[in-house]
Amino acid sequence: MPIHEKNLIRPENLSKHDELVIEGVNVSGDWSTFIKSRVVSDYNEDLQEEIAALAGGEYIHRCWQCGSCTNSCTVNALNPDFNPRQWIYLVRMGFEAELIRDRDIIWQCVSCHKCTSACPRDVVPEAVMHAIGHWLEHKGYTPKRPSTVFDEVFSEQVIHTGKIEDGAVLLGFFLRTKQSLTQSWLVQMVKQLVLKFPVQMLMQMGWATVFHPKTSNWGSSRRAIEEFLQEKEAAVEKKLGPEQPYHEPDVPTNSVDAMKMAAE
């Protein structure tokens, strides 16, 4: 089992001497490892409340740092820098700059749900990872991620029509993320659909993608959902301030390519 606490100490904060003898005892190399002292003065005392205001972050206060989430995490097995427990710790301590350093890694969560199953305190760490990701976006520390765009396209369709039409969601996602509709894998997938799906079902999918049918009498449900979402957005803005455009933070990133590490 990896020692997760090691992640709390940045490599640049460790120092050791190749040759060191103290009072006749040779403490060269790892034996002379010191952790440099540091002063943290830029706490964000509201950080936990800001994360808790976002969907999925509500139960972060329950965490007792047992580490079960990290030990069970699919991505941590590939990339030890992906550490849900550590990020929850940073949020609860208000270490905002430390959290921002990992802005490119937090998004690697694959939503496998293992951490949530393992958590003895019902923190729902998977949802906390998404809340932290949305906090980074809201503050402008990361550009809007494709997964957020997908969520938006999906939600907009459900709210607008009361239905989920896979073809329309995919088309909307590709158009909004400016992705080519002629990518080879996509062309291949459509070919397989045409070959294997019954003609009637394909016609229904095509018709729904173009005309966006609605659930009958959906209007009052749509208005209720929109009202609820407006209240939630107002509460988030009250806590976090207005959404900021993307700007590169002053803090350097600890970005690590998990897939590259897995291949090594």
According to the binding rule CB under 6 A, does residue 138 interact with ligand SF4? Answer: no
Regarding 258 and contact with ligand SF4 (CB under 6 A), the answer is: no
Judged by CB, which is closer to ligand SF4: 112, or 164?
Answer: 112
For ligand SF4, the binding residue among 7, 48, 68, 86 (CB under 6 A) is: 68
Among 121, 144, 160, 163, binds ligand SF4 (CB under 6 A): 121
Pick the stretch among 38-46, 111-119, 135-143, 147-155 that binds ligand SF4 (CB under 6 A): 111-119
Radius of gyration of the chain (CA): 23
Question: Interface with ligand SF4 includes 64 (CB under 6 A)?
Answer: yes
- The stretch among 82-90, 211-219, 232-240, 241-249 that binds ligand SF4 (CB under 6 A) is 82-90
Q: Which is nearer to ligand SF4, 195 or 259 (CB)?
A: 259
Which of 8, 66, 149, 225 binds ligand SF4 (CB under 6 A)? It is: 66
| Chain residues in the site for ligand SF4 (CB under 6 A) | 63-69, 72-75, 84-85, 88, 109-115, 118-121, 123, 125-126, 129
